[in-house]
A and B are shown apart, each in its own frame.
Chain A
Amino acid sequence: MAKKLNMRKRYELLTRGLGWEPTYQSKDKVFAQEAYEGIKITDWSKWEDPFRLTADAYWKYQAEKDKKLYAVMDSFAQNNAHLNLADASYVNALKLFIQGVSPLEYAAHRNFARLARQLSGEGAQIACQMQSIDELRHAQTQIHTISHYNKHFNGMHDPFHMFDRVWYLSVPKSYFDDASSAGPFEFITSVSFSFEYLLTNLLFVPFMSGAAYNGDMATVTFGFSAQSDESRHMTLGLEIIKFLLEQHEDNLPIVQGWIDKHFWRAYRLLGLVAMMQDYFLPESPMSWKEGWQIYFVENAGALFNDLGRYGLKMPKYHEIATAEADHISHQVFGIFYNYIHAAAFNLGLPSEAKMNWLSEKYPDTFDKYYRPRMEMWAEMAKEGKRFFNMGLPQLCQVCQIPMGFTEIAKGDPMQIAYRVSEYQGEKFHTCSDGCKTIFDYEPAKYVNAWLPVHQIFQGNCGGAAVPDVLNWYHFHPEDGGDYVGSADEARWKAMKGEAAAPEAAQPTQADAA
């Protein structure tokens, strides 16, 4: 009997053998997207897939992962395990997750299917097919897991509709649309390398560990189940970069430009994650800054040291991102505190204990710049003057975040950063050197950005008044605002037996006695 083949041989036979030379049409017509970005591929057979996972093993392990995940989800629902959360304010992290991240998973599913079709190398096709299926699995398992929370809490009823319309969700959407509207190699560099390899650990690892810390075992399970695929995706990101750089020296400047651009775009998007990490989790195992240090500074430092042999450098403006690690979560929180009446999640000022934690984690900045702001806001709220910003903010033309970031790298963290470019006689504003550089390189692309504030002013968002716009977003009036006094808080207290159900009449003094 023949000896069992080793892994390398099996993998080769079960992937590379699947391609063929087209005869009815020329190869460049069949793979029409492969050349126009200027990338030169001389030999696809040099592609090395680091995980030698064949289709049969892939199906076996994915089925196993889903079986485990759905068992946890079932028992979570049966046991009403949402009652074990540290606090219901934690659920706001899940709201932002289902609104802002799950639609990205679905978009990734569609785009990797495109890549599986458009790249002509069989190794890359197989990796992209598997990733496409993974991303669909992630979107589905996130929806299934979070649907349990949707029975008990607000804001999770229509995430895919919201994703296409809502002002703060245009931040993740525009990043992904930017990558999706590029060619296949820019897309894969953006998503697989700049996002997945460099930054996705920051989204999933500390956040899911935070979910564990706050008693949300269902989210831990889907998060880590998704992340187990992510390891494979990250290695795809690394392989594509190495492969492109080994194929032709002309690829280096193109790839470096994409890494620079998409690092900055993905980093800006992660400002939302920084806020979740530091302000949404009642109990935080790790601050944004600590995560940045471990998963970006150390990890990317080692990675680019490794990639230096190809001539690749750390992404442009990475020092600025690192300098901002002391500030970014507090600044993004400040923006949302101003506009929480127009969001589909709740937010609250940090408690004294939380502020002390922030002081400890951010010794150089929190007490100096941000605690006084929080205390003033608390004071104003106490006097009945809770500040809501009723004007519409100016947005960055590239990252689409309200212009609230400051000149941190220039040593002036109290000065709002503000950049201007001119294109065809019009002025366009960006929030940072990073976003301005991206704009200036491809202005014709970014002048077409769908900026939520401009669209509201142009009358394209359901009306001129805030309630009209929120209605167009499919938000309910009780979805946003401060956590204290919210419908979710009332419901949570009733679930925990700390108060009567919100629908029921409040007990009188006599009843309580």
Chain B
Amino acid sequence: MSENKVFMIFQNTADAQPFISAFAQENPEATLNYQPGMVRIEGLGELGITQEVVSEFAGRAVDLQELHLTLISLSGNIDEDDDYFRITRH
């Protein structure tokens, strides 16, 4: 079942929190695996977030490219625009 696994890994910091929370909320099937200093968000086939939800968590308008500041690693094919970021493997 790991054939189409995708993941995003973030630093476990306050700056990353709006992204982590958005991934958790917008991908109810995703699992969050916490290791010292980091969190790995795993899903099957697809994980995605929208700018609206991230901004809601942050309490300000977030540019989704800010995820570059706290992203540690990822696996999958990226699809991004101003209002969404997705990682897919089908």
- Chain A: residues with CB nearer than 8 A to chain B? 6-8, 50-53, 57, 61, 64-65, 68, 201, 204-206, 208-213, 220, 224, 227-228, 230-232, 234-235, 238, 285-286, 298-299, 301-303, 305-306
Contact = CB atoms under 8 A, between A and B. Distances in A.
Contacts of B38: 205, 208-209, 212, 224
Contacts of B25: none
Contact of B36 (A7, A51, A213): A213
B72 A205 contact: yes
Given A6-B81, A224-B11, A302 B75 contact: yes
A231 B35 contact: no
30 contacts: A7-B80, A7-B82, A51-B78, A53-B65, A53-B68, A64-B69, A65-B69, A205-B38, A205-B73, A206-B35, A208-B38, A209-B36, A210-B36, A212-B38, A224-B11, A224-B37, A227-B72, A228-B68, A228-B71, A230-B72, A234-B73, A234-B74, A235-B74, A285-B35, A298-B2, A298-B5, A299-B75, A302-B4, A305-B4, A306-B77
A413 B71 CA distance: 39
Contacts of A7: 80-82
Contacts of B36: 209-210, 212-213, 285
B35 to A, nearest CB: 5
- When A and B form their complex, which 7 residue pairs have the shortest distance between CB atoms, in order from nearest? A212-B37, A212-B36, A50-B78, A213-B36, A209-B35, A227-B72, A298-B2
Interface in B14-40: 35-38
A61 B65 contact: yes
Contacts of A227: 72-73
A231 B37 contact: no
Interface of B is mostly: strand
B82 A57 contact: no
B65 to A, nearest CB: 6
A302 B77 CA distance: 11
Given A224-B70, A228-B71, A302-B89, 16 more contacts: A7-B82, A51-B78, A52-B80, A57-B65, A61-B69, A208-B38, A209-B37, A211-B37, A231-B71, A231-B72, A286-B35, A298-B2, A302-B4, A305-B4, A306-B4, A306-B77
**Of B9, B11, B36, B71, which is in contact with the most chain A CB atoms at under 10 Å from its CB?**
B36
A62 to B, nearest CB: 9
A231 B36 CA distance: 19
Contact of B69 (A8, A52, A228): A228
SS class of chain A's interface: helix, strand, loop or mixed? helix
Contacts, number: 96
A63 to B, nearest CB: 11
Contacts of B9: 205
A302 B5 contact: yes
Nearest to A283: B36
A201 B8 CA distance: 12
A224 B72 contact: yes
Contacts of B2: 298, 301-302
Interface of B: 2-7, 9, 11, 35-38, 65-66, 68-75, 77-78, 80-82, 89
A213 B12 CA distance: 13
Contacts of A51: 68, 78, 80
A83 B63 CA distance: 38
Nearest to A62: B68
Contacts of A211: 37
B3 A305 contact: yes
Nearest to A61: B68
Contacts of A53: 65, 68
Contact of A6 (B72, B78, B82): B82
Contacts of A301: 2-3
A50 B69 contact: no
Nearest to A53: B65
- Among the interface residues A8, A61, A210, A211, which one has the most CB atoms of the partner chain B within 10 A? A61
A228 B72 contact: yes
> Looking at A50, A53, A57, A209, which has the most chain B CB atoms within 10 Å of its CB?
A209
Nearest to B11: A224
Nearest to A201: B73
A208 B6 CA distance: 21
Contacts of A65: 69
Nearest to A220: B37
Nearest to B7: A299
A212 B38 CA distance: 9
A393 B65 CA distance: 50
A269 B19 CA distance: 34
A487 to B, nearest CB: 29
Contacts of B70: 224, 228
A213 B37 CA distance: 8
Contacts of B6: 302
